[in-house]
Amino acid sequence: MDLGLTDRVYVLTGASRGLGHATARCLVTDGARVVLSARHADTVAAATAGLGGPEHAVGITADLTDPDTPERLVQAAHQHFGRLDGALVSVGGPPPGSAASVDDDQWRHAFETIFLGSVRTVRTVAGALPDGGAIALVLSTSVRDPVPGLGISNGLRPGLAGVAKDVADEYGPRGVRVVGLLPGRIMTDRNRELFAASGDPERARAEAEAGIPLRRIGDPDEFGRVAAFVLSPAASYLTGVTIPVDGGALRGL
């Protein structure tokens, strides 16, 4: 199936590695061009070079806590590639800890980055998209089922899912789609860190896999392919929903 991604242009935040980079890789493989952003210049440069350089990908060193970042990304897409068709909004995971044990400074920083930074980016990009544009937010299965030990994620991700639904309603009449993606256990650096923090990574991984019907941790490209489809014209009647990419781990219907 042709996803219709050839020559379409997407901005992706937090995309120098992990799920964002996997999505960028899948988009470029299918003919799209991308503008990547992340906080560290060296990782941004390496990521864009790995995607084929300026003909296929350009990088912006930026932080979502900076109010100017979303507009910079929109402008970069138009300056380098002449158009903008959508965005993947992804931010790093917050520090572990229960909701009751995390202090005010950690909550405040996470809110600025994960919540407000994402909302600002969605708002700015949605306003700049043409009919047929699409935005996907990388959230978490914690939207539907709290994850033990990840209190900040349990608190903020469901709110972002509500924002995504609200924006989908508002921009739907303009032909702009907004979808939330709920990754479960995917083998990114983030999950490696969480396994390592347990003190026994192999046991932690085995326990995690035992709770997944497919009995394995997902590969980043398995998420990236879903995200690329959601952003593509092939998913043109898909909006206002949250889609788990979790190997069947969520038990709700």
Topology of the domain comprising 9-244:
Rossmann fold (3.40.50)
pLDDT at 26: 98
Q: Where are the domains of the chain?
A: 9-244
Q: What is the pTM of this model?
A: 0.95
Is residue 72 within 8 Å of residue 62, measured between CB atoms? yes
User: 98 phi and psi, to 5 degrees?
Assistant: -70, 160
Nearest to 158 by CA among 173, 171, 170, 140: 140
pLDDT at 197: 82
Report H helices in the chain.
18-29, 41-50, 69-81, 104-110, 117-128, 151-171, 189-197, 201-210, 220-231
Residue-wise pLDDT tens for the chain (253 aa)? 899 999 999 999 999 999 999 999 999 999 999 999 999 999 999 999 999 999 999 999 999 999 999 999 999 999 999 999 999 999 877 888 999 999 999 999 999 999 999 999 999 999 999 999 999 999 999 999 999 889 999 999 999 999 999 999 999 999 999 999 999 999 988 888 888 888 888 998 998 899 999 999 999 999 999 999 999 999 999 999 999 999 999 998 8
Both structure tokens of 225:
């392919």
pLDDT at 211: 92
Q: What angle do CA 245, 246, 251 make, to 5 degrees?
A: 115
Both structure tokens of 61:
């060193």
pLDDT at 201: 86
Please tell me the distance from the alpha carbon of residue 58 to that of residue 37, in angstroms, as a whole number: 9
Both structure tokens of 151:
């209190």
Q: Give residues with Cβ within 8 angstroms of 11, minimum separation 6.
A: 34, 35, 36, 37, 73, 74, 76, 77, 84, 86, 87, 88, 125
DSSP state of 115: I
pLDDT at 94: 81
